[in-house]
Each structure stands twice: as C-alpha cells, then as structure tokens.
Amino acid sequence: MKKKLQHIVVATLVSALLTSASWAQGALIDGTVTKVDTAASKITIKHGPIKKFDMDEGMTMVFAVKDKNLLGKAKAGDKIKFDADNVNGQFVVTTIEKAK
C-alpha cells in the first residue's frame, strides 16, 4: 500500500511539473527585435502588454540579457517570443525564441 501511494504522489508531481512547464511556455511575450547590442549585452524589443509587470500597453524597451548567448538567437527585424524578469529594478530577458 505504501509503495502504491508513493507512485501516486510521484505521478501527481510529474503531472504538476509538466503543466507548469506548458503554462510557462504559453506565457511568453510577443515582440519584434529592433536592435541587438552585443557589446553592452542589451536587446531592444518592441513588445505587447506584459501583464506580470503591470504593463497594459505595448512599447519599445531596452532589456539586459541574462546570458549573452541569447543575443545570438535573434537579429533586428525578427519576430520573437520572450520572457523577462525584473532584477533589482532592471528588466532582464531570460528566454528568447523565434516566433512561428
């Protein structure tokens, strides 16, 4: 009985993790890259609303990047999906994917 309960708990945790990953992927922000500044590790993105930052309207913003390698994933003019965090008052891109 104890082993069966452990299997149920593990299956529930795996399901919750997969659901979280799907939700996180669906929460990416639509944007268009307007500039990539590799020397300064920054990217300028014209984006739509970002609800998690209480931004109800789109705008163009300069973001720092968490990892310089992200800058190689996009160039000016590319339509992207991205995620960002607010780190000590600075908006930092953590994920970039080319939009499909």
Is residue 95 scored above 60 in pLDDT? yes
Class of domain 29-98: mainly beta
* b/e per residue 48-62 (b: at least 16 CB within 10 A): eebeeeeeeeeeebe
Instruction: Give residue 50's Cα distance to chain centre.
Output: 11
Take residue 7 and report the two structure tokens written for it: 């299997």
pLDDT in the model for residue 17 = 47
Residue 8's pLDDT band, with cuts at 50, 70 and 90, is: low
Which amino acid type is present at position 62?
A: V
State pLDDT tens for residues 42-81: 999 999 999 999 999 999 999 999 999 999 999 999 999 9
Check pLDDT > 80 for residue 14: no
Tell me the domain boundaries of the chain: 29-98
| Amino acid 27: pLDDT | 83
